[in-house]
Amino acid sequence: MKQSIKPRPDLKKLEEGILKGDRVILGQAITLIESNLDTDQTAASVLLERILPFTGNSIRIGITGVPGVGKSTFIESFGKYITGQGKTLAVLTIDPTSPLTKGSILGDKTRMEVLSKDPRAFIRPTASSLTMGGVANKTREALLLCEAAGFNVIIVETVGVGQSEISVKNMVDFFLLLALAGAGDELQGMKKGILEIADALLVTKSDGDNIKASREAQAMYQQSFHVLPEQPSGWRPVALTSSALTGEGIEEVWKMISNFSRLVKESGYFAQNRNHQTISWFREYFKLLMESDLQKSKTVQLKRENLEQELVRLSIPPQEAARQLLDVYHQAIRESAT
């Protein structure tokens, strides 16, 4: 029987292709980093290390909002505006739908049809791998690849219903929240805390009969921003309205983000925030590796199960149980080293 062996990725070709901005190769590289095969992970790490010096030169924008708020329609017209300015744009979409249901909030319809044909744009849904515990760990790596490929603007889109907004907030420079006017509860099922992490809120579909309600919602959100504590960036969050249908407000969003970018670059916050994000990414990744290492050890797993039984019988306090588990883990490491 003929066995199919997966060829080793040609890292030199991938690296050169990315740095030349080759879309096909960029797509292949993203597939490589998304793979959970050990050999691919090793190759992906080498590739990421090689392209790292060429990253960092884009403005990274996170966009979130509940399904139906108009994210893809907005990104389509905002994206066209950006490419119309001669800039290149990559859009990475995260679908946090549970892999168990195999369903998809984002994927089951044709999205951003016009933008996907634009030679200055690159659109890519990224897998929300849960195998490493994080919702968006692959997206950040995909973002770095897109930067090395020379994209000027990178949008990371996520559905505002899960935990993915926080991960996205931690990988972008500017975080934009989309909301609808007049839909009863003004935050429409989103966690209230999300307003606190937004740099701006955009009331979408401000056209036709909806204009008045949109302006009222805008004023209401602007009011809510006033009572929030000042952001570490010194930036005061803004509420705006837009219509992807009429194009109203689209240019203002770009101007606002450019303004933000200029201010935080001048103040030094831009670089400081990116450094902070890199460090917290490293710490997060280390925790994930530790956790998966723990799970690999049979002795540790057995001890953990025993301790959990003791805990519910109230025969050991949690702190002591944790200390004992750590001892067993240390011992397992020593044994595996000998």
Interface positions with ligand GDP (CB under 6 A): 65, 67-73, 204-205, 207, 243-245
Q: What are the DSSP calls for 184-208, one per residue?
A: SSTTTTS-TTHHHH-SEEEE----G
Tell me the closest approach of the beta carbon of residue 206 to ligand GDP, in angstroms: 7
Of residues 211 and 316, the one with the C-beta less far from ligand GDP: 211
Strand, coil or helix: 248: coil
Of residues 128 and 204, the one with the C-beta less far from ligand GDP: 204
Of residues 206 and 297, the one with the C-beta less far from ligand GDP: 206
Does the CA dihedral 296-298-303-305 come out positive or negative?
A: positive
Tell me the closest approach of the beta carbon of residue 142 to ligand GDP, in angstroms: 19
CB 153 within 8 A of CB 87: yes
CB 93 within 8 A of CB 125: yes
Tell me the closest approach of the beta carbon of residue 276 to ligand GDP, in angstroms: 29
Tell me the closest approach of the beta carbon of residue 88 to ligand GDP, in angstroms: 22
Tell me the closest approach of the beta carbon of residue 72 to ligand GDP, in angstroms: 4
Of residues 69 and 136, the one with the C-beta less far from ligand GDP: 69
Of residues 84 and 232, the one with the C-beta less far from ligand GDP: 84
Of residues 69 and 300, the one with the C-beta less far from ligand GDP: 69
| 64-96 CB burial, b ≥16 within 10 A, e <16 | bbbeebbbbbbbbbbbbbbbeeebbbbbbbbbb
Of residues 78 and 151, the one with the C-beta less far from ligand GDP: 78
CB 205 within 8 A of CB 70: yes
Give the list of residues 6+ apart from residue 126 with CB closer than 8 angstroms, or none: 30, 34, 92, 93, 94, 136, 138, 139, 142
* Cα distance between residue 145 and residue 22, in whole Å: 11
Give Cα 217 to chain centroid, integer Å.
27
Burial grade of 253 (CB within 10 A; 0-12, 13-18, 19 or more): buried
CB 245 within 8 A of CB 74: no
Tell me the closest approach of the beta carbon of residue 73 to ligand GDP, in angstroms: 3
Tokens 């995260």, located at residue: 94
Structure tokens belonging to residue 202: 């955009």
Which helix (H) or strand (E) covers residue 285, if one does?
A: helix 269-296
Of residues 204 and 297, the one with the C-beta less far from ligand GDP: 204
Tell me the closest approach of the beta carbon of residue 95 to ligand GDP, in angstroms: 11
Tell me the closest approach of the beta carbon of residue 205 to ligand GDP, in angstroms: 4
